[in-house]
Amino acid sequence: MAEINWLELGLNFLGGFGLFLFGMEFMGKGLQKAAGSKMKNLLGILTSNRFLGVLVGAGVTALIQSSSATTVMIVGFVNAGLMSLTQAVGVIMGANIGTTVTAWIVSLGEWTQFLKPSVLAPIFIVAGVGLMMFAKKSQARSIGQILFGFGGLFLGLDMMSGAAKPLSGLEGVRNLFVVLGSNPFLGILTGAVVTAIIQSSSASVGILQALALAGLVPWSSAIYIILGQNIGTCVTALLSSIGAGVNAKRAAFIHFLFNLIGSVIFMILAIIAFQFLVPQYQNILINVTDISIVHTTFNLLNTLILFPFAGTLVYLAEHIIKGKEQSEEGLQHLDERIIETPSFAIENAIKEVIRMGRIASQNVDTAINALFERDEKKIQQVFDRERSINAMQQSINMYLVKLSNASLSEKEHLTVTGLFHMVSDIERVGDHADNIAELAVSLKEQDLKFSEQAQKELKDISSIALNCFETALKAYEFSDRSIAQQVLPLEMQVDKLEEKLRSRHMKRLVEERCDPLAGILFLDMISNVERISDHASNIAMLILDENRILASEE
C-alpha cells in the first residue's frame, strides 16, 4: 500500500468540508429568497396547535438547512415575546425532522450512477452560474443560487470522501470506529463534540456520510455518533440564549432536554439490539442511505414519543430555570437571532417600526393636550417619551443595517430601504411633538393665552394632522394601497388650512386683536402640525411607490 500523504489528505478533506458548508449555506439562502413572502406567512401558522408547529419547524429547517439556526431563531421569537414556550416546543421538534433533508440530498449518489456527487456537482454548478449571471428575473436567479449551492455541496462531499478513501486501508482507523461502536458513551461524546464545534448537525452528518462512502463506519458507531450529533446541535441555541430573557433560556433548554431524553432512550434500545437482537450488525459497514434512514427514523420517533409530553417539557424548563420574564420599555419585536431568516426578521421589524409610530402619535396627542391644558406632568411625559423614541430610532436603524446585509430578495431590499425612511419620518414627528411641548412651556412661563378663535383653529388643524399620521401608519401596517391614498387628501387639507390660518392670524395681529408674543407661538404651532402631516404623506408614499415599482417589475 502506498504511503499516505497526511498533509495532502488533511487539506483535501478540510477543503471539501469547507465547500460542503458553503454549498449548504448558499443553497439555504437561495431557498429563502425563492420562498420570499411565503416564509413570513408561516409565522401566522404558529398557533397553540403544536402539530402545526412541528410542520412549520420542519418546513423552515428544510429551507434554511440548519436545525441549529431554526432553534436559535425560535429562541429569538420567544425572547421578543412573539411566541410562547408551548408554541416553541412543537417548532423545535419539527426542526429536528427538517434537518434530515440534507442527509437525504447527500444520499442521492448511492441510488444511481447519474446521481453520484462527481456527476451532479459540475452540472448544478454550471446551471447555477448560468442562471445567476444571465437570468433577468430575481426568482430565476434565486433558483440559480440553489443549484450552485447544490453543486458546491456535492463537490465538497466528493472531495471529503475521496480524501478519506485511503484511510479505509489503515487498520488503526478502522479499529477507532469499532471502539466508538462498542462504547456507546464514547460514540455519543464524539458526535456531540464535533457537532458542537462546527455548530451544525447537518454538516456533522455530512462528514459521517463522507466517511461512510470511504468504507470506514460500522453500524454501531454510526448510530451512537448520530445520537451524539443531536445533543451537540443544542449547543448553538444554548449559547445564543446567554443574555436573553428567562423564557428564551427555557426554550433553548427544552431543545436540549428533548434531544437528550431521545438520545438516552435510543441509546438503550441500540445497546439491547446490538447485544441481543442483531449482534451481527455491530461491525458491518453502514452506507450513506442507511445513515439517512437512521437519522430520519430517530428524529421522527423521538418526536412521536415526546410530542404528548410537550407540556411536561415546558413544566420541567420552568422549574429548572427559575425567574420571571421582565417587561422592557425598549424594543419588543426585534432580536438578532431572527435575522437568520430575513423574511421573519422583516415582518418583525415592520411591527417594531409601527409600534414606534404609535408611540410618536401618542406623544403628539399628549403634547397638544399639554399645550391647551398647560399641564406640567404631560409636558414632562412628552420629553421622556421623546428620549425613548430617539433610542428606538438608533436601535432599529442598527438592526436594519444588519438585516440589509442578510440574504434578501429584491422586494425585501425595497422594504428594508423603506423602513429606514419611515423610521426617520417617525423620529421627526417625535421631534415636532417635543417642539409643541416646548411651546407649552413658553406659554406657561410667559403667562400667555390664545384667543378662543385661535384655540379652535389649532384644535381643528391638529386633529386633521394627527388623523393623517395615524392613517399613514395603518396603511403601512396592513400594506394597504387604498388606505394610503386616503392620506394624501388629508395632507393637502392640512396644507391649505395652515395657509388659511396663517393669513387669518396675520390679520388679527395687524388689527391688534392678538398678543404678538402669543401670535409667534401660534405660528410655530401650526408650522409643526403641518410638518407632521408632511411626514405622514412620506410614509403613505412608501406604500404607493413600492406597489408601483413591484407592479412595473412584474
Q: What is the DSSP string of 445-508?
A: HTT----HHHHHHHHHHHHHHHHHHHHHHHHHHTT-HHHHHHHHHHHHHHHHHHHHHHHHHHHH
Question: Quick one: what percent of the chain has pLDDT higher than 70?
Answer: 83
**In which region does residue 447 sit, left (phi positive, over 0), alpha (psi from -120 to 50) or beta (all else)?**
left
CB 176 within 8 A of CB 216: no
pLDDT tens profile 518-540 = 778 888 999 999 999 999 999 99
Q: Which of 79-88, 269-278, 371-380 has the lowest mean pLDDT?
A: 79-88
Give me the chain's average pLDDT, please: 82
Instruction: List, for residues 21-42, the tens digit of each pLDDT value.
Output: 787 777 767 766 666 555 555 5
Contact 226, 205 (CB under 8 A): yes
pLDDT band at 488 (very low <50, low <70, confident <90, very high): very high
In this prediction, residue 100 has a pLDDT band, given cuts at 50, 70 and 90, of confident
Burial tier of 84 (Cβ tally within 10 Å: 0-12, 13-18, 19+): middle
Mean pLDDT in residue range 209-223: 84
Distance (Å, whole) CA 389 – CA 360: 7
Question: In the structure, what pLDDT confidence band is assigned to residue 4 with cuts at 50, 70 and 90?
Answer: low
Q: According to CATH, where is 1.20.58.220 located in the chain?
A: 336-553
Distances (CA, A) of 437 to 364, 378, 389, 467: 9, 9, 15, 19
Q: How confident is the model at residue 549 (pLDDT cuts 50, 70, 90)?
A: very low
Query: What would the grid cell of residue 106 be?
Result: 447527500
| Selected residue with higher pLDDT from 312 and 233 | 312
Q: Kindly state the percentage of the chain with pLDDT values over 90.
A: 29
406: closest CA among 467, 336, 469, 348? Answer: 336
Looking at per-residue pLDDT, the higher value among 432 and 61 belongs to 432
- The pLDDT value recorded for residue 155 is 82
Q: Is the pLDDT of residue 44 over 60?
A: no
Mean pLDDT of 300-315: 90
pLDDT value for 513: 66
Q: What is the mean pLDDT of residues 42-56?
A: 67
pLDDT band of residue 175 (cuts 50, 70, 90) is low
**Among residues 374, 332, 382, 375, which one has the least CA distance to residue 354?**
332
**329, pLDDT greater than 80:** no
pLDDT confidence of 328, banded at 50, 70, 90? very low
Q: In the beta sheet, which residues pair with residue 218? A: 285
What pLDDT does residue 114 have? 59
Q: What's the rounded mean pLDDT across residues 150-161? A: 77
H-state helical runs in 165-218: 171-182, 184-198, 201-213
Q: What is the phi/psi pair of residue 325, to 5°?
A: -70, 125
For residues 156 and 17, the answer to whether their CB atoms sit within 8 Å is yes
What is the CATH topology of the domain spanning 336-553?
A: Methane Monooxygenase Hydroxylase; Chain G, domain 1 (1.20.58)
CA pair distance 253, 250, nearest whole angstrom = 5
> So what's the pLDDT on residue 96?
85
* Mean pLDDT to the nearest integer, 112-132: 78
Average pLDDT over residues 97-105: 81
Confidence check: pLDDT of 79 > 80: no
Please give the backbone phi and psi of residue 218, each rounded to the nearest 5 degrees, phi first. Answer: -80, 165
Task: Quick: pLDDT tens for 133-142.
Answer: 888 787 788 8
Q: According to DSSP H, which parts of 374-448 are helical?
A: 376-404, 410-445
- Say whether pLDDT at 3 is over 70: no
The pLDDT assigned to 171 comes to 66
Contact 346, 412 (CB under 8 A): yes
Residue 553: band (very low, low, confident or very high) from pLDDT cuts 50, 70, 90 = very low
pLDDT tens digits along 5-20 = 778 877 887 888 788 7
pLDDT (tens digit per residue) in 247-272: 778 888 898 999 999 999 999 999 99
Cell 448553538 identifies what position? Answer: 236
CA distances (Å), origin 410, targets 121, 159, 553: 28, 34, 10
Q: How far apart (Å, rounded) are the C-alpha atoms in residues 201 and 24? A: 12
